[in-house]
Amino acid sequence: MTTVKQPPRIDQVSAQPSPRRTLWSAVRTACAAIALTLASAAPSAAQGEFRVTLLGTGTPVPSAERFGYSTLVEAGSQKLVFDFGRGLTIRLAELQIPFGKINAHFLTHFHSDHLVGLPDLWLTGWLRPPYGHRDKPFEIYGPPGVAKLTKGLTEAFSRDIEIRSEDEHDPAEGIAFDPHEVQPGVIYDVDGVKVTAFANDHGRLVTPSYGYTIEYSGHKVVLSGDTRYSAEVAAQGKGADLLIHCVTVIPDDLLKRIPAYQAIYQHLSSPEDAAKVFAEARPRLAVYSHIGLNGDARVEDLVARTRSVYDGPLQVGHDLMTITIGDQPVVTESPARPGNR
């Protein structure tokens, strides 16, 4: 694998003493050079590659091993992020992908564990390189309510935006939101990359809630979103190269001792529920993400319960697992770190 040299930090860039505006000009010039270095060093799918990286495979439970749920899709010229779990920007930084260079962003639903990383990605991607220096609006797609969300974030961080605009002269366009409230159907079609939203089943009160299908160069990836068993997810997954599905494991003894755990299965899939979707869809590869292991549940339990229903190709996802889509999906098992990708 190619070794990627880390670019210098901004605070290591030197400048001769000069008036304030001259200093800022020098820093901006240096940062632009850093950005070019980072952009060339960062892995790119611009040559037609179709690649999916699990940025976070966890749940609302704080974990150093499984960050909050988020997925990066790279297809040709496009870099797309789906959901914004805790620690999203840390994972992107590990991959050396400038936050401000994500082309579009997609939200499945409004639960906080899918949202808490959004302000960080939005705000930090506006800063000077190597973070990305976004110079166009933050494009975000999601269920009705996205416009209200982005308006509220803009108001909440208005003082920070005012200060940085005057003090650091970051471009006004880069901190603006461009929200798209969408209904099921094709919602994004750019440079041969097509994204389709579809309704899943995250429980009676969590509506609308979406999954997403991403198509590029004759291949298809499906993200279930948070859902219990859904025939629509299975239908979307038919013929998919990759189907990524949520799952939660609750041991039987825990369900008996604490009946409240039953409520989780009113919103999320048991291994048997997810396996039923996999068995109906028959994707080339099924991968678990948004993995909840409750009580003393282990990954081995998850696999065993899945195998009672589904016998096809299966991977239990981990943070920074990468799947390259081609004639057969290729999985990078070891976490990708700078210098290893």
Instruction: Give the lowest-confidence range in 3-12, 82-91, 92-101, 109-118.
Output: 3-12
| Whole-number pLDDT of residue 17 | 38
| Whole-number pLDDT of residue 128 | 87
Could you tell me if residue 233 is inside a domain?
Answer: yes
Instruction: Inform me whether the pLDDT recorded for 9 exceeds 80.
Output: no
**Active-site residue among 11, 83, 113, 252?**
113
- Whole-angstrom Cα distance, residue 246 to residue 324? 20
CATH of the domain at 242: 3.60.15.10
Instruction: Inform me whether the pLDDT recorded for 41 exceeds 90.
Output: no
Could you tell me if residue 2 is inside a domain?
Answer: no
Q: How far is CA 161 from the centre of its chain?
A: 25
Which pLDDT tens digit goes with each residue over 183-232? 999 999 999 999 999 999 999 999 999 999 999 999 999 999 999 999 99
Beta strands 314-316 and 285-293 are: parallel
| Whole-number pLDDT of residue 135 | 94
Could you tell me if residue 137 is inside a domain?
Answer: yes
Could you tell me if residue 338 is inside a domain?
Answer: no
- Whole-angstrom Cα distance, residue 254 to residue 268? 17
Instruction: Inform me whether the pLDDT recorded for 97 exceeds 80.
Output: yes
Instruction: Give the lowest-confidence range in 8-22, 97-111, 126-140, 171-185.
Output: 8-22
Tokens of 11: 């605070």
**Residue span of the structural domain in which 93 resides:** 20-332
Q: Which residue has the tokens 């291949």?
A: 219
Instruction: Inform me whether the pLDDT recorded for 340 exceeds 60.
Output: no
Could you tell me if residue 62 is inside a domain?
Answer: yes
| pLDDT, mean over the chain | 87
Which pLDDT tens digit goes with each residue over 277-331? 999 999 999 999 999 999 999 999 999 999 999 999 999 999 999 999 999 999 9
| Whole-number pLDDT of residue 30 | 45
Could you tell me if residue 94 is inside a domain?
Answer: yes
Work out the pLDDT band at 333, boundaries 50, 70, 90. Answer: low
**How many structural domains does the chain have?**
1
Could you tell me if residue 339 is inside a domain?
Answer: no
The count of other CB atoms within 10 Å of the CB of residue 210 is 27
Which one-letter amino acid corresponds to residue 288? Y
pTM for this predicted structure: 0.85
Three-state DSSP at 334 gives coil
| Whole-number pLDDT of residue 45 | 53
- Whole-angstrom Cα distance, residue 332 to residue 329? 10
296 given a catalytic annotation: no
Instruction: Inform me whether the pLDDT recorded for 339 exceeds 80.
Output: no
- Whole-angstrom Cα distance, residue 145 to residue 107? 11
Of the two residues 263 and 70, the one the predictor is more confident about is 70
Q: How far is CA 34 from the centre of its chain?
A: 25
Instruction: Give the lowest-confidence range in 2-6, 149-153, 248-252, 257-261.
Output: 2-6
